[in-house]
């Protein structure tokens, strides 16, 4: 399904911007041009949803909604919805290197509400058309967010009104009337988000750049998905998870990772032919050119931890839907371009499952930098049908791993294997090696393109605070860097013929 190609991972939030977080504005279009000039084929982003606790894009309030923080404010000013004072009020640039999520939470929605109040009848008509086209999710999302505000931002299971918590029809009508203006505001933001996103994607495609999106396997416990479809999850009567997702002790944590997401009631989901999952994949295919499914091994068997545990140690493996789900997706949607994130605690059963699916799995170079050892992650062992990465958003950067984390023996091996020297940055040597590998798709992160270290790490699993905030400086996206990427793509026979 995939041609020999390469690309760069950079989340929207990590783009430069005068407003404290990356947006779908001018700098996003310039990044597309940077990738085109660099001979790349793919731009990979993290999930685009509206983040909640911990600011993680893997813990969103909706599986379908976009993050209002990514709405470009300069575009709204050009539309006459914001003025110069509004833009000054939205400028919370505390650092060009990191997102200040607390400052955004205080200011961004205030400014977006002003834009809503200035919406013209023509714009509201476009919003109404968007609302109708997206009625399968946007009404639940907008009401859920309005109710969260009404109940002082409490989690779903702590809402004060049991009737609306359980979607009693009379309560639904009551709050739909009382919160109409607030609900309309949330729909308006989604209209703006997807209008801007689809224009950005169209521009990328025109320039020969395809976008790889990301589906988290789980949804947040405090989400409109749980509220609208409680039967699909293992929940208590209060809608609090009975069992939560995670992984056993692994490379990242001796006590495992406790994610806190509710686990699926797969028997119920299978009964209706996996309709919700088919809808979810279909929706992502409308937004992205390729979809990466996170934690793919969880469909074969998932680690379930009883609610209330402090760590993931006392979990157990529970059988997942396996090929039943993906056969249903194929029957409904055909052979769709999917990448399976098959990292973590992988056994032979998972390997057989991935092979049956036919989807390319992942390999990560930093996991292969081991002296006197050969494993699946060292680039010369990467299979053709895989996506090979120098590092990922969850791992150390290539420089942090080799320079700060490796043993002396591993470090010496890495430098020799990558053929690095004082003539070029370490990250560039790693990218050349990845691009010359057998993998159909070779990917790197913007952090590795810039040979950045621990300060540029995007996420450290099993930790709270300080994650997801890294941003690239505008001056780092320059012709010298794109020139290197183009030479690396050419040398690895990955040069995009359309660039």
pLDDT in tens, the chain (499 residues): 799 999 999 999 999 998 999 999 999 999 999 999 999 999 999 999 999 888 999 999 999 999 999 999 999 999 999 999 999 999 987 889 999 999 999 999 999 999 999 999 999 999 999 999 999 999 999 999 999 999 999 999 999 999 999 999 999 999 999 999 999 999 999 999 999 999 999 999 999 999 999 999 999 999 999 999 999 999 999 999 998 999 998 777 788 889 999 999 999 999 999 999 999 999 999 999 999 999 999 999 999 999 889 899 999 999 999 999 999 999 999 999 999 999 988 899 999 999 999 999 999 999 999 988 888 999 999 999 999 999 999 999 999 999 999 999 999 999 999 999 888 999 999 999 999 999 999 999 999 999 999 999 999 987 888 899 999 999 999 999 999 999 999 999 999 998 8
The residues, ordered by sequence, that sit 6+ positions from 78 with a Cβ below 8 Å of its Cβ are none
- Identify whether the C-beta of residue 418 lies closer than 8 Å to the C-beta of residue 430: yes
CA–CA gap between residue 36 and residue 486 (Å, rounded): 9
What DSSP character marks residue 263? P
Active site residues: 294, 341, 394
Give rounded-to-5 percent helix, strand, coil for the chain: 45, 15, 40
Q: E strand or H helix at 242, and its extent?
A: none
């Amino acid at each position: 399904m995939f041609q020999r190609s390469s690309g760069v991972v950079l989340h929207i939030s990590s783009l430069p911007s005068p407003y404290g977080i990356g947006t779908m504005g001018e700098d996003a279009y310039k990044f597309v041009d940077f990738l085109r000039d660099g001979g790349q084929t793919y731009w990979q982003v993290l999930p685009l949803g509206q983040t909640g606790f911990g600011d993680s894009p893997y813990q969103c309030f909706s599986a379908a909604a976009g993050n209002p923080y990514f709405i470009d404010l300069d575009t709204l000013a050009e539309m006459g919805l914001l003025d110069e004072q509004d833009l000054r009020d939205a400028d919370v640039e505390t650092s060009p290197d990191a997102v200040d999520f607390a400052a955004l939470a205080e200011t961004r929605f205030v400014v977006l509400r002003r834009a809503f109040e200035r919406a013209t009848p023509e714009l509201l008509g476009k919003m109404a058309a968007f609302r109708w086209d997206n009625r399968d999710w946007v009404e639940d999302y907008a009401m859920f967010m309005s109710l969260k505000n009404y109940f002082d931002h409490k989690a779903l299971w702590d809402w004060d009104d049991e009737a609306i918590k359980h979607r009693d029809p009379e309560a639904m009508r009551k709050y739909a009337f009382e919160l109409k203006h607030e609900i309309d505001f949330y729909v308006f933001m989604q209209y703006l988000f997807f209008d801007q996103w689809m224009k950005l994607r169209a521009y990328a495609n025109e320039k020969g750049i395809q976008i790889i999106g990301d589906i988290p396997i789980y949804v947040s416990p405090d989400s409109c998905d749980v509220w609208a479809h409680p039967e699909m999850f293992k929940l208590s009567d209060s809608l609090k998870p009975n069992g939560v997702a995670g992984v056993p002790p692994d490379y990242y944590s001796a006590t495992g990772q406790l994610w806190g997401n509710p686990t699926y009631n797969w028997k119920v989901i299978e009964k209706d032919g996996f309709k919700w999952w088919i809808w979810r994949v279909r929706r992502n295919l409308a937004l992205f050119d390729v979809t990466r499914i996170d934690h793919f091994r969880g469909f074969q068997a998932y680690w379930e931890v009883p609610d209330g545990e402090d760590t993931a140690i006392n979990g157990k493996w529970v059988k997942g839907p396996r090929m039943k789900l993906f056969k249903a997706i194929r029957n409904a949607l055909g052979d769709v371009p999917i990448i399976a994130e098959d990292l973590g605690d992988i056994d032979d059963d998972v390997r057989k499952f991935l092979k049956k699916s036919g989807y390319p799995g992942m390999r990560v170079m930093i996991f292969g930098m081991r002296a006197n050892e050969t494993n699946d992650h060292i680039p010369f062992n990467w299979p053709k049908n895989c996506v090979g990465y120098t590092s990922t958003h969850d791992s150390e950067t290539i420089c942090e791993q080799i320079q700060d984390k490796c043993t002396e023996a591993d470090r010496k091996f890495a430098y020799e294997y990558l053929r690095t020297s004082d003539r070029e940055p370490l990250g560039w040597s790693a990218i050349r090696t990845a691009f010359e590998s057998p993998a159909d798709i070779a990917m790197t992160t913007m952090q590795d393109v810039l040979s950045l270290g621990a300060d540029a790490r995007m996420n450290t699993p099993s930790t709270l605070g300080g994650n997801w905030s890294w941003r690239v400086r505008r001056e780092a996206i320059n012709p010298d860097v794109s020139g290197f990427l183009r030479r690396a793509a050419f040398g690895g026979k990955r040069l995009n013929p359309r660039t």
